[in-house]
Amino acid sequence: MEDNTLQLIEKLKYNCQLGKHKHFKAADRFKCYDKTMSISMMLINLTIALVHLFTLNTEMPHWLVYSISGLSFLAVFIAGFELKSDYSKKFEGHRRIGNEYLRVARKCEKNIALFKDGKKSILESEKVIDELNSDYDNINKEAESFPTNQSDFSSAKQIQESK
């Protein structure tokens, strides 16, 4: 009975750590997207501003006017895409979910240690497992709003296997 209880908690801990790595990987990806979009918009807007500043009193060639118009259109498109995608919100959500998985994984580690040290009886195991499963289920429900992709899962699995 004791081995089965510990195996169940170990499996839950493994799943929590996998979830943590998966969501941290997704958070890093969205942070990268957010930075890329922001830096791109800043560079485009800076280029537009500099061209306009240096050509204020001169006649601009048509190709330059069209280029600046194209860059302006691109900046507006990137701004709209960034606003719609809301990468910073996705980053924060994935980090929060990853930290929740980490919290449950630590609770699993604590309970495993207490069972192995004889500080908790097997009679208490049902309550412990129910509480851990409830926490895990709540995180999974919350994580539905922040899906991960296959690449995140593969990276998380690779990290877990290397431990």
CA distance 136 to 103: 10
pLDDT, position 9: 92
151 pLDDT above the threshold of 70: yes
Least reliable range by pLDDT among 56-60, 90-94, 130-134:
56-60
Compute the mean pLDDT over every residue in the chain, rounded to the nearest whole number. Answer: 89
pLDDT, position 93: 96
* Contacts with 5 (C-beta within 8 Å, 6 or more apart), sequence order: 115, 122, 125, 129
Categorize the per-residue pLDDT at 122 as very low, low, confident or very high, splitting at 50, 70 and 90: low
pLDDT, position 1: 42
Q: What percent of the chain has pLDDT over 70?
A: 96
Categorize the per-residue pLDDT at 116 as very low, low, confident or very high, splitting at 50, 70 and 90: confident
Helices within the chain (DSSP H only)? 2-54, 62-85, 87-116, 125-143, 150-162
Of residues 3 and 155, more confidence is placed in: 155
pLDDT, position 2: 64
* Contacts with 40 (C-beta within 8 Å, 6 or more apart), sequence order: 78
Nearest to 158 by CA among 11, 18, 1: 18
Residue 21 structure tokens: 């790595």
The DSSP letter of residue 55 is: T
pLDDT, position 101: 97
CA distance 37 to 22: 23
CA–centroid distance for 38 within its chain: 18
48 pLDDT above the threshold of 50: yes
Number of domains into which the chain is organized: 1
Provide the domain limits for residue 43.
2-162
